[in-house]
Amino acid sequence: MSMTDALGRIEEIRSTLSQLSGAAGPKTAVLGTTSSVTGTDTEFASTLSSLTAAATGTAGTAAAAGAAAGGAAADGKVLDAVQKYLGLPYIWGGNDPAQGLDCSSFVQNVYKDLGYTLPRVTWDQMNSGTEVASLAQAQPGDLIFSHDGGHVSIYLGNGKAVDAPQPGQTIAIRDAWENDSNITTIRRILPTETAGAAGFLSAPGGAGVPGISDLVASARAAQAALMGSAA
């Protein structure tokens, strides 16, 4: 279930609650304040309202969880893709995964393994994907360009990056020395994954909160019961 669908279902619950408040005439006209309202009716409506509020909170929590899950998934994919290149020597202009690579060919090969086609040189790679505003917003897999586009590294998250650095050194994971003052641009190639959020919202129940579909069914059943008792 998408976030839009989930919010639509929550609105459906709220609409049903509104009908509950007036369906039985004076008996339920002002839930919780009219003396003629039975304890059972009031308690059920109150509980259902609480569950609706919980479902609304669940949607927001699931969105955050989905973003975190997307970052973790990207992190794992990138780490898997760079493993076979670690330890290869930097060779200026090199594009042989068995002998050595330069910074842009390293990035090109990693993303080829991930299923994405990137240009060969940094100045063209800088136009790929979408721009990320700052390092604070960077996610694992984002490309960090520095030295006016003369160098590129792959951000791994948690202050780590990986690159083919310079002659005499090898491809390695390192502390990210890049910061907003020396970064030319940050580009995002990997799409953000939100499967975690969709799965959480569509589950029959999550983290002790009933599923949205169950809430709708309960609200409809409550409406029918109160309509019958009012007749």
Asked if 143 contacts 152 with a C-beta cutoff of 8 angstroms, the reply is yes
The domain total for the chain is 2
| Same-domain status, 15 and 44 | yes
- The reported pLDDT for the residue numbered 32 is 41
| Same-domain status, 106 and 134 | yes
- The reported pLDDT for the residue numbered 76 is 75
Any domain includes 47: yes
Any domain includes 134: yes
Any domain includes 203: no
- The reported pLDDT for the residue numbered 149 is 95
Question: What's the CATH number where 141 sits?
Answer: 3.90.1720.10
Please state the separation of Cα 208 from the chain's center in Å. 21
pTM: 0.54
| Same-domain status, 91 and 181 | yes
Any domain includes 202: no
pLDDT tens for each residue of 186-225: 999 998 753 333 333 333 444 444 444 455 555 556 556 6
| Same-domain status, 151 and 217 | no
DSSP string, 193-206: P-HHHHHHHHSSEE
Which portions of the chain are predicted below pLDDT 70?
1-75, 193-231
| Same-domain status, 65 and 91 | no
What is the 3 state secondary structure string of 63-104?
HHHHHHHHHHHHHHHHHHHHHHHCCCEECCCCEECCCEECHH
